[in-house]
Structure 1
Amino acid sequence: MIVWRGWGILVLLIAAVLGGPATLLAEVLLGPELMNFGTAGGLAVAGVVVFFAGSRLNAPHPGYDPRTGAPVMAGGGHTFFFVPMQYWGFVLLAASLVTTVVTLLGA
């Protein structure tokens, strides 16, 4: 079961859109034994994109309390598996690093 709030689902979509084609391109260019370098590259780019998108979406912005009309700072709430979206950028970068190391050790 996938759990997200707000635009948190973009973590999965960005990782799939950038990681999948990069893997296929690396398979064509480098061969099937080194295609995981494409996966690692796609995940690294996805990590950067997710970090900046999450930082932008979760940044506080001024708003008003609908009951009192008092100014408040609103924002946040874009999570994927209960983790704020921007932190998934670091997870994707770590997955990229692990994929690179595993590919190098297996090659």
Structure 2
Amino acid sequence: MIIWRGWGILTVVILALVGGGATLAAGKLLESYGANVGYGFVLGLVAAATANWIVGNRLNGRPVRELVDAQTGERVVLRTSHSLFFIPMQWWSVLMILAAVVALSAILFGHDSGVKPQPWTGMK
């Protein structure tokens, strides 16, 4: 069950579309140069984090609306919140960057078993 408030669900959409698209594009580009395609995943996470940070800051940075109760004179502040699982949208970008750092460290410092992956040739 996904819990969001306002446009917080855009975090999932941004991660899927921007992150997925950048991962595929960077992976194909890196593959053509013979580089490790795992870097494409890292670049996809960084692209998604950047886009999510910009959108989240723009949505959550809107000015608040203050109303004054006519009978009591008390001020009421109306503020829209855009969050996913109770975390503001822009702060999901920090988690995406941390995931990118973990993925990058796995690529750079991961154990090489010496077994080369075989290309998928379909079902036999």
Q: Deviations over 1:19-73 (max 9, x none)?
A: 21222223323339822211111111211221221112112514243x8267654
Give the paired residue count. 106
Q: Any unmatched runs of 5+ in structure 1? A: none
Which of 41, 48, 51 is the aligned partner of 2:43?
Answer: 41
- Which structure has more RCO (C-alpha within 8 Å, separation ≥ 6)? 1
In our comparison, the structure showing a higher alpha carbon Rg is 2
Moved over 3 A (4+): 69-74
Q: Any unmatched runs of 5+ in structure 2? A: 113-124
1:68 aligned onto 2:72 = no
Which of 77, 94, 104 is the aligned partner of 2:108?
Answer: 104
Q: Closer, same or farther in 2 for the Cα pair 1:93/1:62, shift >3 Å?
A: same
The DSSP-based 3-state class of the residue aligned with 1:61 is: coil
**1:62–1:71 CA contact under 8 A, matched in 2:** no
Counting aligned pairs with the same residue, the percent is 37
- Structure number with higher helix proportion: 1
- Normalised TM-score (structure 2): 0.70
- Normalised TM-score (structure 1): 0.79
The DSSP-based 3-state class of the residue aligned with 1:29 is: helix
The DSSP-based 3-state class of the residue aligned with 2:18 is: helix
Which of 93, 97, 106 is the aligned partner of 1:93?
Answer: 97
Structural RMSD (CA): 2.5
Give the whole-Å Cα distance in 1 for the aligned partners of 2:107 and 2:86: 30
